[in-house]
Amino acid sequence: MSEHAENAQPAVVVDPGEGHAIWFLNTRMTVKATGETTGGAYGLIESVVPPGFSPPMHVHHREDESYFVLDGHVTVRCGNDTYSASAGSYVFLPRGVPHTFVVEGDQPARWLTLTTPGGGEGFFVDASRPAESGGFPPPAPIDVELLRRVSTTYGNELVGPPLTPSGSN
């Protein structure tokens, strides 16, 4: 065994359906990797988001955030630009730039959320509750005060309203 192998962090395998399942706002997330399990490199979350959902416009000051869209259609706003992302799309949202998204259409969207470096995934965990079932939480208004409170711990900032789906008036 080489010296590198002896000091290496062990492999981590999280099987389908496994991970830390949470209800964050009106979404279901499953934390697959954390800064702790990746040596600080990144956090990885599988996100399932209902149609029409959009979080408030916000800024991550410590991490970049990326999405790899697996299912559905999402409109993403980053700074002054708006993008359309569907299954197979990759979206990079640099730290320090305001962003949000909205799920378009009548089907949920599913994507992988990567926070780099790791640690930012803790925001979602700390502002959520454990998932009580395999589906979405009961719809509820966004608890803006909770988001503001938890944001201060993670270097995030709420800076604007959510987006409206393109088919809405």
The domains of the chain are located at: 14-158
Task: Flag whether pLDDT at 6 surpasses 90.
Answer: no
- Region 87-114: what's the mean pLDDT? 98
pLDDT of residue 76: 98
Percent of the chain beyond pLDDT 90?
88
Nearest to 125 by CA among 27, 14, 38, 41: 27
- Superfamily per CATH, domain 14-158: Jelly Rolls (2.60.120.10)
Which tens digits make up the pLDDT trace of 28-45?
999 999 999 999 999 999
Task: Flag whether pLDDT at 165 surpasses 60.
Answer: yes
The span from the CA of 60 to the CA of 154, in Å, is 8
**pTM of the prediction?**
0.91
The span from the CA of 90 to the CA of 83, in Å, is 11
Contact status, residue 97 vs residue 78, Cβ threshold 8 Å: yes
pLDDT of residue 31: 98
